[in-house]
Amino acid sequence: MFHKEGYKIISISFLIAAIIVILADQFIGIFWLQLLVQIAALIFLLLILQFFRNPIRKAILNNDHVVAPVDGKVVVIEEVYEKEYFKDQRMQISIFMSPINVHVTRYALGGLIKYSKYHPGKYLVAWHPKASEENERTTIVIDNESFGEVLYRQIAGALAKRIVNYAKEGMQVVQGTDAGFIKFGSRVDIFLPLDAKVNVSLNQKVKGGIDIIAERQ
């Protein structure tokens, strides 16, 4: 199953791959070179397909749990000052997605969308310390009945050129459902209350919509 954000790119990539295979067959007389070009075109198509895959996952709904919003590796767990919305201390958990990870963003918890804002910016590598403040990003705040207001950011990386965000202010959202998509390498930051119990460790790999990264104590 593929994400709807990839339909156009998949169609174009399929057409390009097909044209390359046909042209190689018609105009390259050296068999091994023809085969190499055709295999390269198919590998290109397979990489596009795997990037836009959208595995079906059903989160076990629980207002006392925060599930991973994306697939990837935990790269930050620290207390920080969140200056855009809360303007106070929060517990930040950041998950980095490599180009081979599933890039669907899922709601880490359910509730009411209180804030949703797009910020244009740079394309520093996603693990750069300044990426959270200087890169292209979206900031979303969900008001959850157990945790209160929780903020998350979709952050573009060096390869990501488009962030898709479905969250609109006033929406009621369900934990684990699609919240958006980040195209080609990126990161998601979550800012939780300081009394939240963190259930993950640095460098741990997590699955979006499945793994519990924090809970109410």
Catalytic center residues: 186
Q: Please provide the DSSP assignment of the chain as one string.
A: -B-GGGHHHHHHHHHHHHHHHHHHHHH---HHHHHHHHHHHHHHHHHHHHHTB---------TTEEE-SSSEEEEEEEEEEETTTT-EEEEEEEEEE-TTS--EEE-SS-EEEEEEEEE--B---TTSTTHHHHBSEEEEEEEETTTEEEEEEEEE-SS--EEEE---TT-EE-TTSEEEEEESSEEEEEEE-TTSEE---TT-EE-TTTSEEEE--
- How far, in Å, CA of 206 to CA of 49, rounded? 21
